[in-house]
Amino acid sequence: MEIEGLIKKYALKNAFDFGKANEKAVAGRVLGESAEARKDIAATMKLVAGIVKEINALGKKEIEKELKKYGIETSTPNSKPETRNHSIVLPDAKMNEVVTRFPPEPNGHLHIGHAKALFLNYEAANAYSGKLLIRFDDTNPEKESQEYVESIAQDIKWLGIEHSAPTFTSDSIEKIYAYGEKLIRSGNAYACTCPQEVMKENRMKKMGCACRERDAAGNLALFTEMKTTLAAGKAVIRFRGDMASENTVMRDPTLFRIIDVPHYRQGRKYRAWPNYDFVAPVMDALEGVTHAMRSKEYELRDELYACMQEALGLRNVKIVGFSRLGIEGVPVSKREIKKLIDDKKVDGWDDPRLVTIAALKRRGIRPEAIMEFVLSFGLSKVESTPKLEKLLALNKKIIDPVARRYFFARGKKVLKVNGAKPEAVSLKAHPSGNLGMRKLEATGEYYIDENDFEALKIGDAARLKDFCAVRVVGKKKDILETEKVEEIDNETQISKPETRIIQWVPKESAVKCEVMVAS
């Protein structure tokens, strides 16, 4: 099947399954199946974009009609006409009404765990012809910066995620204050002036403090002081939960605290800042989110999330959980990565040994491979710690047909061909021959890999890859003396399978490079 036909087939199927076709999903299927499509990924992606646009303009009946031309059934005897086969199934979801969100905190760079959350939210929205919101939950001025906002935005764009203009929680602080005051007036929140260590002990012992008895007027007055003059650490606003609850999250958690430092976006306009437990349920409801998809680590906070929305009279948002993604032997969390950077054990957030999006991009991992990798785990809550090799294998499948080949020699070991005359050698840029030729100036002296150097002994035969056959006639500390021999020579065993084939780099035109290896 021609590339255009293959693209159309998968675009139609994707549109039928999910309401509209998704460029990345279609491209992933096509590139994975067609070597021809992988020869020029940029051209293929452009073709995919055009065909997806055409398919998305078709009605449901037209899509079904076109699918039948490819032998794809669009219904079964027992199916209902309105039923769709979603790859991601959400509870109580309706077509064209689903709204998901990805709410990064701009206190670090995105990593592969974030990519899983991002793609799951994106694909879920697409599955129901809904939309994905990007919201920066920027309510901790001590750790957040514009640098991280820009980095996250660039990563999201590079991953191919389409979304409306992002919002910033810090732009809605006045609204959040109003909901905080509403919670206090209703008796569902109070100002606590207990030292942190005292409250920590009370929570452990399931005991309430005297601050719980303060009336609403007193609590509102303290909240006003928190927003104006009270020093950091002198008071917090707590949710009036259940101090006897077995769920420790429900034991009067903090909702607002004083952080009296400049905010990267708001300056010194605010000093009482809401935390995640207040921001998430309030902003999700206000922004029209229907399904809050988040990792299993927040599971204990689900009860608080629902209680907050009920206490504030906000629309209930469905919570959908999934397992966190770890990578065997590789740090994933921002905290771990930041420590490695601070300890100078890695070179920065884009160090290729890491699994930040910036690092994966620098390493040559394609967005399509990342998408296929993270979506392969679906919405399962079963914890998984796959090896990085799985992602690398997916990436290789995409780039192998289009990656030009070059020779590499580790160390500074030299192979000298006695009596050789300078000549230009044409080599295939790719084993398939589809990427043209590259030329090397063969001058008679070449760098070879130190492993090849150590293995070759006087009298041994070897083949310089795609060039010529040689026999070792002398060996010094760093130089192998060789002479050219015929391609088929029983004495030198050039034609035998065990003959060593080695990569070679002309000494005069060699480019020094550094290879970083994970340890």
What distance in Å separates the CA atoms of residue 69 and residue 273, rounded to the nearest whole number?
Answer: 58
Do the Cβ atoms of 26 and 48 come closer than 8 Å?
Answer: yes
Q: Which residues lie closer than 8 Å to 300 by C-beta, 6 or more apart?
A: 247, 248, 249
Choice among 135, 334, 413, 416 that is catalytic: 334
Q: Which residue has the tokens 């689903």?
A: 98
User: 427-460: b or e for each residue (b if 16 or more CB lie within 10 Å)?
Assistant: eebbeeeebeeeebebebebbbbeebbeebeeeb
Do the Cβ atoms of 243 and 259 come closer than 8 Å?
Answer: no
Burial of 101 (0-12, 13-18, 19+ CB in 10 A): buried
User: 73-98: b or e for each residue (b if 16 or more CB lie within 10 Å)?
Assistant: ebeeeeeeeeebebebebeebeeeeb
Degrees, nearest 5: CA angle 358-362-363: 115
Active site residue 334: yes
Active site residue 105: yes
And the tokens for 238? Answer: 């707590």
Choice among 23, 66, 105, 123 that is catalytic: 105
Active site residue 225: no
Residue among 351, 357, 354 nearest 369 (CA): 357
> 462 pairs with which residues across the strands?
470, 500
Q: In which element (H, E) is residue 294 found?
A: strand 291-295
Do the Cβ atoms of 117 and 320 come closer than 8 Å?
Answer: no
Residue among 347, 332, 306 nearest 385 (CA): 332
Choice among 324, 390, 396, 484 that is catalytic: 324
CA torsion, points 295, 300, 303, 307, in degrees to nearest 10? -90
Do the Cβ atoms of 139 and 275 come closer than 8 Å?
Answer: yes
Q: Which residues lie closer than 8 Å to 323 by C-beta, 6 or more apart?
A: 295, 296, 377, 380, 381, 382, 383, 384
Q: Which positions are catalytic?
A: 105, 324, 334
